[in-house]
Structure 1
Amino acid sequence: MKKAMLAASLMAAGVTAAYAQSSVTLYGRLDGGLEYVNGLKDGHRFEAESGDWGTSLWGLKGTEDLGGGTQAVFRLEEGFTLQNGTVGGGSGQLFNRYALVGLSNNVWGTFEMGRSLFISNGVWDFDPFVQENWSSASLVRGRNWPQVSNSFNYQSPKFYGFDFAGQYALGNSTNFNGNSSAGTSSAISSTGRADGAQITYTGSFFEVRGIFDEIRDGNGQFSNLFAYSREYTAAVNLVFGPVKIQGAYQHLNANAVTDNGPTSGDHEWLGVTYQFTPAFALTGGGYHINVNRGGGNATLYEATGTYNLSKRTFLYVTGATVQNSSTANFSLFAEPPDNSAAFNTTSQTAIQNSQNPLPGHSQTGFFAGIDHSF
């Protein structure tokens, strides 16, 4: 009898252990280098820089097996400035990029909730310059890479080459019926609801993706083309041996602009990467934007070379220039417009620190550095 009870106890313990299998992974990226830019309002600069290739970050992610193909999942991730160790990309937030918990199932997909990158970041896979500091976010003034809080996220499994993702975020409010700007005295509308969906098809030598997303201000309006607007994206990757061709078209629309700013914009890009050797690759390409209401147009030309020292460490060098029409002042950086009330405080600090060139002027820069992942 005692032996039977002992065997039953061991079996129960074994089942418990199987259900409790879990893993936690520490990961991160360190990116640092040197940067030179001219065409700034105050001339030029040469400085040490962190995150020109990609954000320096660290994070934790993990799973717990719940049985039946279902897992509990979590992810915590923050960006930081390598040069001085400032966390949260200068915002002071601990986990400014991801703070998620959810469930994942092999058949039904993954559902997570918390803080996340916005779904518009899905262009990363189709950006020839992988959302470097000068890339697909530059000419849309950062519209392609925001984060959202209080979000609900779903990612499906692949089904005959297709997969689907959806996101709904409450913004700065935790209340489904709340107004995120209510009760504040700030002249800046806080970020309101944000949502979007994307569908992707992956074939043997190509990949296509469509994204629809929208970000509202604290009053629920689309009041700024580069901050609170709707965005439509169609993107494609083509791979032919060592050659990869990447392109996309985006349309932005904001129907509640009240400061005579632009209400519509068209943004497209094309780039080619050639993998000369397993270690060395070269990418060249360009981005173009045209906005209405006298906002003008701009073209950004860019080239990048990378050399892999190992599977986790590589060197890079990038050069780029942006050419503006007479009324445009787009920057290499994802810089907000100088006169945008949606971005600037009454002290005009953001305007004083702007990296935009003067209207009609060009801007050129180079950066080089080292990137290590762990």
Structure 2
Amino acid sequence: MKKSLLVAATSIVFSATAHAQSSVTLYGIIDVGLVFNNNAGGQKQYFMSSGNIQGSRWGFRGTEGLGGGLSAMFVLENGFSVNNGRLAQGGDEFGRQAYVGLFSTSVGTLTFGRQYDSVVDFTGAYEVAMQWSPYFGAHPGDLDNMNGTNRINNTVKFKSLNYGGFTFGGMYSLGGVAGQFNRNQIWSLGANYTRGPLSLGAAYENVKDPNFSSFGNNATSSATGSNMTASRVYSGYASAKTQQIIVAGGAYSFGAATFGAVYSNTQFKDIGSLAGLPADGAPGDAKFHNVEMNFKYQFTPSLLAGAAYNFTKGYGVNNAKYYQGIVGLDYLLSKRTDVYADAIYQHASGTDSTGAPAVANINFLSASSTSNQVMGIVGMRHKF
């Protein structure tokens, strides 16, 4: 008996020594709020929303030292709804992120799996919906994916080390369709420069068959129908052959104040190329200029206030315009728990992707029956 205990104890000691440079961390965020929408198809609406400023999630991240400045690493991240406990991201178990890779102290990081694109990695932080605003405050429909609505499957991604404040990287997603190398292919590039109070970033993304490769890559996505039904801003362009996104942004801090700006150009090209899908306004290209100006002020270590204005202008086969204003407050109750309140107003004009007069359609809300829409939210976020 004593001999068995000694062997077991010795095994534990050697096991701990062999894995001394390894670590696995469990982490998560629970974010929930109460929302008021003044016009959801002509009716007032009150509802509970999960994952507002940050998506509700739990996950594992781990690393293992391999020697010579090389480490193996992984992330498995699940998204869920606080309201009802259901899986988010279309029911995918690890729909937020799922990847494994290598990190080199002399080169950078190479990862494989379901990941964010270069638009999110290098420019997402300049949009208020990735800062203090809930995802409702993203650019209309999140059509430039700066809020990270669409993760990318089957990706190979590289991100460099930080060279005096400069980082760069790229991502490639294999389409996986036999005999059609470019089918469902996605690739993106980006770079960021940060020095002192100044930060700048830029990114480019090219998406083939976006209805299936980008918008339709969850377990419940349709293999034949439209997966671009979440917003009237783009729902009429599901038959586009290509989506192209160009983003440039920056921010500058003066003490407790930070000013930011970001420009994006999104294009749905060759509308009508994918048969059997919505093609309002086809043939041609639907293009969007988007400009956001934002400001935040840290009144105290616990209290932050922000405001932003966003203008989206459609051109090409559409002429829709969306004007959006956001104000918000965030108050820290502790290092891991905060409460927040935000209000958003949107006005629309012109003709939208459906070929009908444009109506206000704040991101992820039911479209208004008129050209105006107002929403408010109060919520709480806890990190662990």
* TM bracket (short chain): 0.7 to 0.9
TM-score for the superposition, normalised by structure 2: 0.79
* Aligned twin of 1:323: 347
The CA distance in 1 between the partners of 2:382 and 2:177, in whole Å, is 37
> Tell me, which stretches of 5 or more residues in structure 1 are unaligned?
1-9, 181-191, 336-354
Q: Relative to 1, partners in 2 of residues 1:178 and 1:127: Cα closer, same or farther, differing over 3 Å?
A: same
Aligned residue identity for 1:299? Y
Which amino acid letter does the alignment assign opposite residue 99 of structure 2? L
Residues matched between the structures, number: 330
Deviations, residues 36-87 of structure 1 (Å, cap 9, x unaligned): 0012214120112212222100110000000011100000001100011001
Paired position in structure 2 for 1:237: 251
Q: Which residue of 2 aligns with 1:187?
A: none
Query: What's the secondary structure of 1:229's corresponding residue?
Result: strand
Q: Deviations over 1:285-338 (max 9, x none)?
A: 111100123331011100110000011110000100101114323411147xxx
Distance 1:220 1:66, change over 3 A: same
Partner residue, 1:36? 36
| Equivalent residues of 1:326, 1:361 under 8 A apart | no
Structure 2 residue identity aligned to 1:291: G
The Cα shift of 1:216 comes to: 1.3
Residue 365 (1) aligns with residue 367 (2): no
**Match for residue 296 of structure 2 among 241, 262, 273:** 273
Deviation at 1:178, TM superposition (A): 5.2
**Contact residue 165 and residue 197 of structure 1 kept, 8 A:** yes
CA-atom RMSD, angstroms? 2.8
Unmatched runs of 5 consecutive residues or more in structure 2: 1-9, 215-236, 273-278, 352-357
Paired position in structure 1 for 2:190: 198
Are 1:23 and 2:23 an aligned pair? yes
Query: What does residue range 79-158 of structure 1 map to in structure 2 within 5 Å?
Result: 79-89=79-89, 91-122=90-121, 123-130=123-130, 132-141=134-143, 143-144=145-146, 145=148, 146-158=150-162
Q: What residue is the counterpart of 2:76 in the other structure?
A: 76
Distance 1:136 1:218 in 2: 19
TM-score (norm 1): 0.81
Give distance in 2, aligned partners of 1:320 and 1:103.
42
- Give me the whole-angstrom Cα distance separating, in 1, the residues matched to 2:335 and 2:116: 26
Offset at residue 366 of structure 1 (A): 0.3
Contact 1:221 1:256 in 2 (8 A): no
- Aligned partner of 1:295 in structure 2 is 319
Partners in 2 of 1:308 and 1:226 — Cα distance?
44
How many Å apart are 1:218 and its aligned residue?
7.1
Which amino acid in the other structure matches residue 233 of structure 1? V
Is the 2:245–2:267 Cα contact (8 Å) retained in structure 1? yes
Tell me the CA shift for residue 219 of structure 1. 9.9
Q: How far apart, CA to CA, are the structure 2 residues paired with 1:74 and 1:279?
A: 33
Secondary structure (helix, strand or coil) at the match of 1:255 reads strand
Q: Percent identity?
A: 25
